[in-house]
């Protein structure tokens, strides 16, 4: 059961990360409704550096965020499928998805919207169930 829960939870992260990456580069779904905001983001730099624009940073942050979620799935799904004993025998590999899930859940509740919150909630419940079962 723990193996199925781990694969399910990380699969949700992989799916959401993949969708987010697709939305970032191939749609305008992450653009602001007010196009003047996008123009302003494209026309100004960050206080940190003038080497990029706020818009480029926005796209980069979204892409790296997506890749992080996809990396979790790319690592844990094969590990859970073919070497689950590594997860079972390591507190780190057992509880890391729980910590990650709770962290993303906090971000989703505070900064995002309902759909990612629900998906991350379900994934986190899977992680907790897997960890407790192990």
- Band of the pLDDT at 79, cuts 50, 70, 90? very high
Delimit the domains of the chain by residue range.
2-133
- The pTM (predicted TM-score) of the whole model is 0.90
Query: What was the pLDDT predicted at 62?
Result: 96
Contact 131, 80 (CB under 8 A): no
Backbone φ and ψ for 53, nearest 5 degrees, come out as -105, 165
Mean pLDDT, rounded, for 114-129: 97
pLDDT given at position 122 = 98
Residues 34-61 pLDDT 10s: 999 999 999 999 999 999 999 999 999 9
Local structure of 45: helix, strand or coil: strand
The residue behind tokens 């829960």 is 5
DSSP state of 43: T
Mean pLDDT of 115-126: 97
């Amino acid at each position: 059961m723990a193996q199925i829960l781990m694969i399910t939870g990380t699969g949700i992260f992989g799916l959401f990360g993949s969708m987010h990456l697709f939305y970032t580069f191939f749609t305008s779904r992450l653009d602001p409704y007010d196009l003047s905001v996008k123009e302003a983001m494209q026309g100004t730099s960050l206080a940190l550096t003038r080497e990029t624009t706020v818009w480029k940073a926005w796209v980069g942050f979204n892409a790296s965020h997506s890749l992080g979620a996809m990396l979790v799935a790319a690592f844990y799904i094969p590990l859970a499928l073919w070497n689950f004993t590594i997860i079972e025998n390591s507190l780190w590999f057992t509880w890391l998805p729980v910590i990650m899930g709770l962290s993303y859940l906090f971000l989703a509740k505070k900064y995002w919207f309902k759909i990612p919150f629900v998906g991350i909630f379900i994934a986190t419940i899977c992680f907790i169930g897997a960890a407790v079962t192990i």
